[in-house]
Amino acid sequence: MAFEKKPRNKMPEQEAAVRARNFNEVALGYSAETAKAEAARCLHCKNSPCMQGCPVSVNIPEFLRAAAAGDFDKAGEIIGKTSSLPAICGRVCPQENQCEKMCLRAKVDSPVAIGNTERFIGDYMLAHRKEREKAPRTGKRVAVIGSGPAGLTCAAELSNHGVEVTVFEAFHKAGGVLVYGIPEFRLPKSLVQAEIDKLCGGGVEIKLNTVAGRTVPIEELAEKYDAVFIGSGAGLPMFMNIPGENLNGVYSANEYLTRINLMKAYLPDSATPVQLGKRVAVIGAGNVAMDAARTALRMGAESVKIIYRRGREEMPARAEEIHHAEQEGIEFCLLSNPVSFQGENGWVKSTRCVKMALGEPDASGRRRPEPVAGSEFDIETDMVIVSLGTRPNPLIKNSFAALQTSPKGTIVVDEETMRTNIDNIYAGGDAVTGAATVILAMGAGRKASKAILERLDIK
Amino acid sequence: MNKILKKTRLAENVTEYVISAPDAARHAHPGQFVILRVDEEGERVPFTICDYDSQAGTITILVQEVGYSTLKLARVPEGGYIADFVGPLGNPTDLSEFQNVLLVGGGIGTAVIYPQAKALKAKGRPSDVIIGARNASLLMYEKEFASAAKELRFITDDGSSGVKGFVTDELKRMAAEKKYDCVFAVGPLPMMRAVCALTKELGIKTVVSMNSIMVDGTGMCGCCRLTVGGVTKYACVDGPEFDGHLIDWDEAINRGKTYREQEAAHKCRLTGEVK
């Protein structure tokens, strides 16, 4: 049978020229009518391939069915069975590589906007908050290290099953990368706080300003609690180790974004200072690079260039983010690799790059960039933001030698249960995989919570 | 929220704070630091721990009122609270392999060498100590060191107490009298650089505590990075103590000036001073 073509409902957005100068959310969200209409585009295929594309297997067709009928409470309940943070996932998941990639509607016209609809439901749930019924207490206690997506998801799941959960967070605010990394214009911080408050309302205690391995030894947690989950992330930024990298004005993306997002350096009255670059170069082309570049623009830069050693096709950032960045006026300096930074009075003044050409595919399957001899050129820059990814923080492994880690510093776990080499200690998220996505971290947190519940004999 | 149990004025613009922080106090060691935020709008500022009492659950820090956050902290009364206090951070000092240690403290850095002096004394290997300051009114912890050090010498820039001169002058004299297998120096960057230049010449191993600009203090931003032996290190997780002979001092001093202009403006906002 032939299906009627009904194009995907567009997400309303702030005008590029306007939003490039403010920190308000770029995507404005669906109205109830649009959400219903978009949900009604679901074809309810056999086998629900979309669900296989979702790392936490949200029952997508069922929540869309409820949403299409206008029963948003029910839609929220269905999502809530497998996902604790829909308002966040709806915004930051790379749906085009997950649920929406598998959507068969693509063969008719375009995939159902599952993420946009989930976001609507998530926002609806926060606005119409209902106290969740508390599960009967089991008397079991679990410690969760880190309050990022992995830790929060694990904590929520355990708490929903009557486990007393204490989350240990090093920062003065909970949320991990959701508060220090992803900018306000993609993920409003009030929304992250609302999701966390909802979680705490369910009986999760969050201990801020507590560095596991320093303020409380991990051994002590393993002794005092029935189980421990480590979701400490991969926060240690990588640098290139090229001359001039420690000149003033050269930031890691983590430092730049932390100053602006967590410490609110984008507000004029902020106690935390940040440099205001006029000509900014961002090294790298992942999602964090896009975030840093778009943030620098909003901080008043005259020009922002993304410098990337491979080509357009190879850029690891989401297509939507690259598109947004381009619309806002970010320039792309592709097939170019920095070789040094030149300074004046200790401040960075220019970035020397070499042109690159793509050779044979390497182990990652991407064509290996090779420098073109004699092709050096200088870009005038008064600020550089290095965004080449992160590694797991050595603090956990250095303070707890018994924990097995890989040569890359990631925690080694059993893939089925997320259990580490120590009996009652589990781990998940970037601490295990190295820098990955929010939703994968949530999936890992969920998987670990299942194994912990099983271990504690709670069904 | 952490309570300020006791505030003591030690010198002009220098205040000692005893802060309630039971978990941090229980696990603190000499050489480690804390990060605090005065209030909800505050920035995160690092301070080296200058004493701790695990029984009482307290950590003592010394604060020199030099800018926005330290002035703001000075306005919190005894018995008042600060918004955030996290620690202990950084690696503890390791002076275990040395028999004859000379501790050198300059200005507010003096407080930082006190836990080391105490620990060495407790181990039956008391250290010699040089304390330097601009003038007599800025000397501090005299009583504490008098009981912890084997030999204690004071030196001031203007000669208003002890000998006139710089810590390096005194260090040169002491090294001529005795053999030291390690110098441990804490103070302003130019002072530590001068100490290292001298001890390198004298062939004495020297450890310094770096006071880089920090944000998180847990190794996730790289703000506090410095070059040690040609390799980039993070003061907060790899240090804060390093072999002083391997540090790129020009770079460290330059990085310390990153926010000088903004800091001056912040301070003016608080004090009403005009730049």
Assess contact for B34 and B88: CB atoms under 8 A: yes
| Cα(B28)–Cα(A215) distance, integer angstroms | 8
What is the four-CA torsion angle of A436, A438, A441, A445, rounded to 10 degrees?
A: 180
For B200-254, where are the E strands, in sequence order? 206-209, 225-228, 231-234, 241-243
CA distance A97 to A106: 13
Question: Residue A2 has what pLDDT?
Answer: 64
CA nearest to B42 within chain A? A271
Which has the closest alpha carbon to A63: A149, A132, A122, A147?
A122
CA distance readout (Å), A342 to A274, A355, A378? 21, 18, 9
Which of B68, B218, B257 shows the shortest C-beta gap to A271?
Answer: B68
Q: How far apart are CA A316 and CA A312, in angstroms?
A: 9
Confidence band (pLDDT; 50, 70, 90) for A335?
very high
pLDDT tens digit sequence for B141-172: 888 899 999 999 999 999 888 889 999 999 99
DSSP secondary-structure letter at A24?
S
Q: How far is CA A24 from the centre of its chain?
A: 18
Q: Are A26 and A11 in contact (CB under 8 A)?
A: no
Indicate yes or no: CB of B215 within 8 angstroms of CB of A235.
no
Looking at the complex, does the CB of residue B84 fall below 8 Å from at least one CB of chain A? yes
Return the minimum-mean-pLDDT range out of A197-201, A350-354, A412-416: A197-201
Q: Do A217 and B255 touch (CB under 8 A)?
A: no
Question: CB–CB of B69/B263 below 8 Å?
Answer: no
A231 vs A420: CA distance, rounded Å: 12
pLDDT tens digit at each of 275 positions of chain B: 999 999 999 988 899 999 999 999 999 999 999 999 999 999 999 999 999 999 999 999 999 998 889 999 999 999 999 999 999 999 999 988 999 999 999 988 888 899 999 999 999 999 999 999 998 888 888 888 999 999 999 999 998 888 899 999 999 999 999 999 999 999 999 999 999 999 999 999 999 999 999 999 999 999 999 999 999 999 999 999 999 999 999 999 999 999 888 888 877 776 666 44
Calculate ∠ Cα A186-A192-A194, nearest 5°. Answer: 135
* Contact residues for B130 (Cβ-Cβ < 8 A; gap 6+): B102, B103, B104, B105, B153, B154, B155, B167, B170, B171, B174
Give yes or no for a contact between B220 and A236, defined as CB atoms under 8 angstroms apart: yes
CB–CB contacts below 8 A, A to B: 115
Alpha-carbon dihedral sign for residues A317, A319, A320, A326: positive
Name the residue in chain A with its Cα closest to that of B38: A271
For residue range A344-375, list pLDDT tens digits in order.
Answer: 999 999 999 999 998 888 887 778 899 999 99
- d(CA B28, CA B115) in angstroms, rounded, equals 10
**Surface-to-core class of residue A415, CB atoms within 10 Å of its CB (0-12 exposed, 13-18 middle, 19+ buried):** exposed
Q: Coil, helix or strand for B227?
A: strand
Residue A246: both structure tokens together: 């420690």
Interface test with B, best of A209, A251, A386 (most B CBs within 10 A): A209
Cβ <8 Å between B41 and A270: yes
pLDDT attached to residue B140: 85
Give the bridge partners for A62, in sequence order.
none
Interchain contact, B220 vs A216, CB within 8 Å:
no
A172–B23 CB contact, under 8 Å: no
As a three-state string, the secondary structure of A386-455 is ECCCEECCHHHHHHCCCCCECCCCCECCCCCCCECCCCCEEECCHHHHCCCCHHHHHHHHHHHHHHHHHH
pTM of the model: 0.94
Cα(A230)–Cα(A146) distance, rounded to whole angstroms?
7
Positive or negative, the CA dihedral B113, B114, B120, B125 is positive
pLDDT tens by residue, A309-325: 999 989 999 988 999 99
Task: Report the residue of chain B nearest A259, measured CA to CA.
Answer: B215
A341 is written with which tokens? 């930074």
Backbone angles phi, psi at A141, to 5 degrees: -130, 135
Predicted ipTM of the assembly: 0.93
Provide the pLDDT for residue B275. 43
**Which chain B positions have a beta carbon within 8 Å of A239's beta carbon?**
222, 225, 232
Write the CA distances from B250 to A163, A417, B201, integer angstroms.
54, 50, 19
Residue B94 sits at the chain A interface (C-beta within 8 Å): no
The type of residue at A65 is: R
Q: Which residue of B19, B45, B218, B220 to mutate against A (max A Cβ within 10 Å)?
A: B220
Dihedral of CA A105/A31/A190/A59: which sign?
A: negative
pLDDT of residue A135: 82
pLDDT tens by residue, A213-270: 999 999 999 999 999 999 999 988 999 999 999 999 999 999 999 999 999 999 888 8
Closest chain A C-alpha to B241 CA, distance in angstroms: 16
Residue A139, SS3?
coil
Q: Is the CB of A215 less than 8 angstroms away from the CB of B41?
A: no
> Reduced to 3 states, what is the DSSP secondary structure of residue A115?
helix
